[in-house]
């Protein structure tokens, strides 16, 4: 088994950069502890990056996860200031990847699994990420990633009903919905909000029946709207992906 989670107590200051299609998340970690997080549009990257660099001159290393960085030449800007790791599917990770097509596995899912290894070593963990899509990823107590599932996310479901029908309106998501919708809008809310919550509940129950002492992590931008009852084995963590990227950076420092 890989020995990957025994780092020195002091690992320095890192900058984690996670760039999506429209926005960028940055996080500063010191000794594996998140001390500052920012979210801004990618057009503001240069200004915000310079602010962070000046505020934290102790930063020496950075990890970048993005599908758009080459487009804006931001990676070269980061390289002028720090040692940079460009995270991709071939980056060494602290778990055994059993996915049948690892080259197609999303970088966000890889980072989430790494975070599960970091926070819940030697435990069965199901990570649920409620973003553009809802992803389910399973890490075993033997630190093996088996795979999971992908289903349409909250916004995608509302937009698809509106786009692929003639008369259904585009409805604004709400945290709660009546079981019985008494208007078309309320019926859409019931179908989507309650449908996703039932999906979450059923999926957790199915995984729990196969993997004992299962820990569930609930994260992602829509995790608050799709809130589920937090039991002793269910944890909400909005920074789980950023923590995973930082852990991957630290893991590769030891290689």
Q: What is the pLDDT of residues 148-197, one digit of tens each?
A: 999 999 999 999 999 999 999 999 999 999 999 999 999 999 999 999 99
- 213 dihedral zone (left: phi>0; alpha: psi -120 to 50; beta): left
Higher-scoring residue by pLDDT: 5, 251: 251
Contact 105, 152 (CB under 8 A): no
100-239 and 1-86 share a CATH fold: yes
Q: In the CATH scheme, what architecture does the domain 100-239 have?
A: 2-Layer Sandwich (3.30)
231 conformational bin, left if phi > 0, alpha if psi -120 to 50, beta if neither: beta
For the whole model, what pTM was predicted? 0.90
pLDDT at res. 72 = 54
Catalytic residue among 70, 108, 178, 213: 108
Q: Per-domain residue ranges for the chain?
A: 1-86, 100-239
Does residue 17 register a pLDDT over 50?
A: yes
State how far the Cα of 113 lies from the Cα of 111, in Å rounded to an integer: 5
Where is the binding site for ATP, in residues? 18-25, 132
| Beta pairing, strands 133-139 & 234-236 | unpaired
Compute the distance between CA of residue 240 and CA of residue 64 in angstroms, rounded to an integer.
Answer: 16
Structure-token match 């129950």, residue found: 205
Q: Which two tokens stand for residue 165?
A: 């029908």
Complete edge-to-edge strand list for the sheet that includes strand 33-41:
33-41, 23-30, 13-19, 59-66, 83-86
Kindly tell me if the per-residue pLDDT of 218 is higher than 60: yes
**pLDDT tens sequence across 90-146:** 999 999 999 999 999 999 999 999 999 999 999 999 999 999 999 999 999 999 999
Q: Do 17 and 72 meet the contact criterion of CB atoms below 8 Å apart?
A: no
Binding site for substrate, by residue number, is: 99, 106-109, 184
**Which of the two residues, 227 and 233, has the higher pLDDT score?**
233
Q: What is the mean pLDDT of residues 218-235?
A: 86
CATH (one of 3.40.50.620, 3.40.50.2300, 3.40.50.2000, 3.30.420.40) for 1-86: 3.30.420.40
Q: What is the per-residue pLDDT across 43-96, written as a single tens digit (0 to 9) for each?
A: 898 999 999 999 999 999 999 998 665 555 778 888 889 999 999 889 999 999
Whether 182 is a known active-site residue: answer no
Annotated binding site: 18-25, 99, 106-109, 129, 132, 184
């Amino acid at each position: 088994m890989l020995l990957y989670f025994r780092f020195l107590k002091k690992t320095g200051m890192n900058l984690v950069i996670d760039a999506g299609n429209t926005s960028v998340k940055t996080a500063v970690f010191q000794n594996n502890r998140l001390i500052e997080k920012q979210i801004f549009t990618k057009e503001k990257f240069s200004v915000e990056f310079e602010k962070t660099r000046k505020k934290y001159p102790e930063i020496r290393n950075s990890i970048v996860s993005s599908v758009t960085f080459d487009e804006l030449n931001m990676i070269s800007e980061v390289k002028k200031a720090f040692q940079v790791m460009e995270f991709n599917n071939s980056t060494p990770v602290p778990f055994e990847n059993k996915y049948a097509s690892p080259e197609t596995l999303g970088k966000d899912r890889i980072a989430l699994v790494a975070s599960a290894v970091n926070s819940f070593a030697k435990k069965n963990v199901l990570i649920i990420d409620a973003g553009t899509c809802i992803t389910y990823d399973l890490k075993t107590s033997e630190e093996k990633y088996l795979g999971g599932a992908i289903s349409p996310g909250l916004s995608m479901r509302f937009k698809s009903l509106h786009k692929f029908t003639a008369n259904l309106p585009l409805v604004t998501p709400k945290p709660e919905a009546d079981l019985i919708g008494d208007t078309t809008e309320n019926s859409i809310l019931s179908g989507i909000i309650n449908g996703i919550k039932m999906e979450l509940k059923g999926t957790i129950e199915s995984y729990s029946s196969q993997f004992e002492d299962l820990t569930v992590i609930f994260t992602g931008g829509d995790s608050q709207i799709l809130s589920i009852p937090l039991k002793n084995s269910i944890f909400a963590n909005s920074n789980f992906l950023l923590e995973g990227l930082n852990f991957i950076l630290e893991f590769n420092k030891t290689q």
